[in-house]
């Protein structure tokens, strides 16, 4: 319990530091948001008025405290480019990206766990080589290219789905999930190859240890040893890897959203970066940072719960 | 008997082959990457082995050019990352102390985030372009190299042969350069290969998103963006670009695995 509390405090302190960085970085860069918004031909009076309205005339520190306070209560400010509140702008998009990541993650586990566990006992022979070769190839395929290929194969050759005809989950949940199947697959496949590789190499390493030899020489069936003794011991690295993968899936979904024209958080991040729409970028940085830090912390806690050898 | 390291063999020969094709191919291939040919969106043929694009440019020539740019970005990134990482890792690993503590905390914080994500945020402040991309990715790659270098320097400095050198009066600089560095190299090299792997992927993603290499220049990532518009009419553009990325990543990761396996013996 004390451990979890300590973790939580570190998490909050880190997030606070990140928020400070995210705010200051965008506050000190050259270029006046008011000028960007009104264009270079705007009259000085108009710019001055807008600066006042946006609160840009006050000290950075005051603005930071205000911004952070608003953020904590869910008010993410106003987008420069769209004029909407950032929260309105991000709401549905965060759900889209979140569900894309979730779907990819479930898919990855659905592929990697069966394949990894069923082939873990076979560390030589034909199965071993087949799995190793397919894995090595699959790992080298970036989701962005896999996405293009899936679009071509399932969108143009087999015509299973209509590319770039995104269905919002507000219209039809089934249609939405069906459309998301393909981008999720593009993210999940390379990651499941990595996970299969991790499971197999962890099992191989663990199988060479003394306790396994003891168990086998006492007469336990090798298969039983694998499932009862070895697998619980490789749970910790697999959990850590899962958390890292989920974090890497953030970048993957940004890219894949672009491939499948999915209106998610990644797309708005890219367009906000392009138009220098800082309130949107800042808000997303904070949301992503919170997600990343939480996942790291969660993985640590889970590992300690699953693997008793790691002391609390 | 020593078992042959198949992975290293495959990785090293594939990497060498690809590098040679990219460098020599650009010099010898009879079409230029920006040369406009009469046939647009032609399929693969004897004249154009990978077809042509929407402006009639030879795709093979463009892939060579793009792969060259991508490899150049990767080289720059890894150079900055590896040299910076080696310096930081050597100093913190060798001397330890509070400096080590601070630097490692910062690098922990940085490595918590995927480097492409950090690069996206930094690009939103600095603007895109090839030079910026190399600089940003290079700096973001420093922590991962520093971590490995630090580990090796820490491990090696407490070994007997290094202690003996200290007793014989070797200076700190000499110990680091002559006694520790050469022995840290094998481990560091496999990290360099992984770095190339990650850099190629990062370049492809960033340029694909339009935040890396910019228009007149071609890179593999940029080509994938352009190929998307003609995916259904000319899939060979996307396929040849993508397969090139896959081959490069595959070669570098095999090389890294091989170097790592060779270390374990």
- The total of other beta-carbon atoms located within 10 Å of residue B230's CB is 16
Tokens read off for A1: 């319990």
CB contact under 8 A, A251 and B114: yes
Question: Looking at residue A267, what is its pLDDT?
Answer: 92
Tokens read off for B140: 């973001």
Contact A257, A305 (CB under 8 A): no
CB contact under 8 A, B120 and A276: no
The Cα A167–Cα A172 span in angstroms is 7
Of the partner residues B114, B121, B228, the one whose CB lies closest to the CB of residue A247: B114
Rounded to the nearest 10 degrees, the angle between the axes of helix B181-208 and helix B115-126 is 60
Q: Is A243 on the interface with B (CB under 8 A)?
A: no
pLDDT of B122 higher than 80: yes
CA distance A80 to chain B (A): 14
pTM (2 d.p.): 0.90
CB contact under 8 A, A148 and B228: yes
Question: Looking at residue A225, what is its pLDDT?
Answer: 85
Contact A227, A114 (CB under 8 A): no
Question: Looking at residue B3, what is its pLDDT?
Answer: 63
Question: Looking at residue B263, what is its pLDDT?
Answer: 67
CA distance B228 to chain A (A): 7
Closest among A189, A208, A211, A200 to A234, alpha carbons compared: A200
Q: What is the share, in percent, of chain A residues with pLDDT greater than 90?
A: 36
Q: Is B127 on the interface with A (CB under 8 A)?
A: no
What DSSP string describes B117-182? HHHHHHHHHH--SHHHHHHHHHHHHHHHHHHHHHHHHHHHHTSHHHHHHHHTT--HHHIIIIIIHH
pLDDT of B265 higher than 60: no
Which chain B residues touch A281 with a CB distance below 8 Å? 121, 124
Binning pLDDT at 50, 70 and 90, where does residue A38 land?
Answer: confident
pLDDT of A35 higher than 90: no
Question: Looking at residue A150, what is its pLDDT?
Answer: 95
Interface test with B, best of A16, A135, A144, A285 (most B CBs within 10 A): A144
The Cα B133–Cα B145 span in angstroms is 18
Per-residue burial over A29-68, b = 16 or more CB atoms within 10 Å of its CB, e = otherwise: eeeebbeebbeeeeeeeebeebbeebebeeeeeebbeebe
The contacts of residue A242 (CB under 8 Å, 6+ apart) are A105, A109, A195, A299
Mean pLDDT (whole number) for B42-71: 92
CB contact under 8 A, A142 and B205: yes
Q: Is B125 on the interface with A (CB under 8 A)?
A: yes
CB contact under 8 A, A142 and B245: yes
The Cα A208–Cα A186 span in angstroms is 35
Which chain B residues touch A156 with a CB distance below 8 Å? 231-232, 235
B57-81 pLDDT, tens digit each? 999 999 999 999 999 999 999 999 9
Q: Is A303 on the interface with B (CB under 8 A)?
A: no
Lowest mean pLDDT among A97-101, A221-225, A240-244, B24-28: A221-225
Q: Which residue has the higher pLDDT, A10 or A34?
A: A10
Mean pLDDT (whole number) for A268-295: 88
| Average model confidence (pLDDT) across chain B | 90
Which chain A residues touch B239 with a CB distance below 8 Å? 149
Q: Which residue has the higher pLDDT, A13 or B241?
A: B241
Chain B residue closest to A139 (CA)? B250
Chain A residue closest to B128 (CA)? A274
Q: Which residue has the higher pLDDT, A163 or B193?
A: B193
Closest among B151, B150, B147, B177 to B162, alpha carbons compared: B177
CB contact under 8 A, A140 and B253: yes
| Average model confidence (pLDDT) across chain A | 87
CB contact under 8 A, B249 and A142: yes
B177-195 pLDDT, tens digit each? 889 999 999 889 999 999 9
User: With left for phi above 0 and alpha for psi between -120 and 50, is residue B37 left, alpha or beta?
Assistant: beta
ipTM summary value: 0.89
A94-143 pLDDT, tens digit each? 999 999 999 999 999 999 999 998 888 787 888 888 888 899 899 999 99
CB contact under 8 A, A281 and B121: yes
Binning pLDDT at 50, 70 and 90, where does residue A165 land?
Answer: confident
The Cα A199–Cα A234 span in angstroms is 8
pLDDT of B106 higher than 50: yes
Which chain B residues touch A147 with a CB distance below 8 Å? none
What DSSP string describes B9-49? HHHHHHHHHHHHHHHHHHHH-SS-TTPPPS-SSPPS-SSST
Binning pLDDT at 50, 70 and 90, where does residue B241 land?
Answer: very high
Cα→Cα distances A305→A111, A311, B101, Å: 25, 9, 28
pLDDT of B264 higher than 70: no
Question: Looking at residue B1, what is its pLDDT?
Answer: 39
Question: Looking at residue A261, what is its pLDDT?
Answer: 92
Give the SS3 label for residue A223.
helix
Closest among A164, A177, A204, A201 to A107, alpha carbons compared: A177
B123-158 pLDDT, tens digit each? 888 888 899 999 999 999 999 999 999 999 999 988
CA distance B206 to chain A (A): 9
Contact A256, A187 (CB under 8 A): yes
Contact B214, B225 (CB under 8 A): no
Which chain B residues touch A276 with a CB distance below 8 Å? 124
- The total of other beta-carbon atoms located within 10 Å of residue B100's CB is 18
Q: Is A154 on the interface with B (CB under 8 A)?
A: no
């Amino acid at each position: 319990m004390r451990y979890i509390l300590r973790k939580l405090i570190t998490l909050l302190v880190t997030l606070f530091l990140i928020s400070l960085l995210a705010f200051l970085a965008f506050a000190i860069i050259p270029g006046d948001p008011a000028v960007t918004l009104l264009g270079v031909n705007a009259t000085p009076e108009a710019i001055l008025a807008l600066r006042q309205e946006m609160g840009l005339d006050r000290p950075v520190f005051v603005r930071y405290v205000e911004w952070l306070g608003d953020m904590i209560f869910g008010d993410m400010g106003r987008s420069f480019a769209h004029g909407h509140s950032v929260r309105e702008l991000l709401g549905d998009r965060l759900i889209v990206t979140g569900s894309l990541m979730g779907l990819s993650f479930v898919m990855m586990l659905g592929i990697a766990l069966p394949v990894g566990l069923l082939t873990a006992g076979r560390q030589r022979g034909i199965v071993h080589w087949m799995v190793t070769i397919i894995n090595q190839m699959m790992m080298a395929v970036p989701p962005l290219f896999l996405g293009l290929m899936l679009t071509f194969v399932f969108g143009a050759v087999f015509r299973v789905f209509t590319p770039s005809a995104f269905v919002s989950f507000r219209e039809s949940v089934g249609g939405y999930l069906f459309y998301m199947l393909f981008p999720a697959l593009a993210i999940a496949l390379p990651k499941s190859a990595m996970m299969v590789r991790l499971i197999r190499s962890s099992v191989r390493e663990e199988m060479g240890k003394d306790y396994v030899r003891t168990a086998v020489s006492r007469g336990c069936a090798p298969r039983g040893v694998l499932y009862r003794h070895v697998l619980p011991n490789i749970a910790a690295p697999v959990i850590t890897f899962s958390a890292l993968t989920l974090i890497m899936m953030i970048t993957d979904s940004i890219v894949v959203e672009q491939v499948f024209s999915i209106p998610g958080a990644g797309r708005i991040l890219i367009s906000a970066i392009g138009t220098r729409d800082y309130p949107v970028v800042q808000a997303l940085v904070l949301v992503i940072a919170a997600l990343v830090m939480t996942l790291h912390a969660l993985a640590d806690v889970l590992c300690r719960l699953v693997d008793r050898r790691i002391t609390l | 008997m020593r078992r042959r390291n198949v992975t290293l063999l495959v990785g090293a020969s594939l990497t060498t082959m690809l590098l040679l094709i990219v460098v020599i191919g650009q010099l010898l291939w009879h079409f230029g990457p920006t040369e406009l040919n009469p046939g647009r969106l032609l399929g693969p043929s004897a004249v154009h082995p990978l077809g042509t694009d929407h402006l009639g440019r030879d795709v093979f020539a463009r892939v060579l050019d793009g792969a060259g740019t991508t490899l150049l970005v990767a080289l720059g990134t890894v150079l900055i990352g590896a040299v910076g990482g080696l310096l930081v890792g050597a100093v913190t690993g060798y001397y330890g102390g509070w400096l080590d503590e601070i630097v490692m905390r910062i690098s922990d914080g940085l490595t918590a985030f995927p480097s492409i994500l950090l690069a996206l945020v930094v690009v939103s402040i600095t603007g895109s372009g090839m030079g910026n991309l190399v600089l940003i990715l290079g700096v973001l790659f420093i922590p991962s190299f520093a971590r490995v270098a630090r580990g090796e320097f820490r491990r090696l400095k407490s070994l007997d042969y290094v202690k003996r050198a200290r007793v014989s009066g070797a200076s700190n600089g000499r110990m680091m350069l002559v006694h520790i560095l050469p022995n840290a190299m094998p481990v560091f090299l496999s990290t360099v290969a992984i770095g190339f792997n990650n850099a190629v992927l990062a370049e492809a993603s960033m340029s694909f998103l339009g935040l890396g290499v910019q228009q007149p220049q071609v890179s593999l990532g940029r080509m994938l963006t352009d190929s998307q518009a003609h995916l259904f009419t000319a899939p060979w553009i996307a396929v040849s670009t993508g397969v090139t990325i896959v081959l490069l990543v595959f070669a570098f990761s095999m090389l890294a695995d091989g170097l790592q396996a060779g270390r374990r013996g």
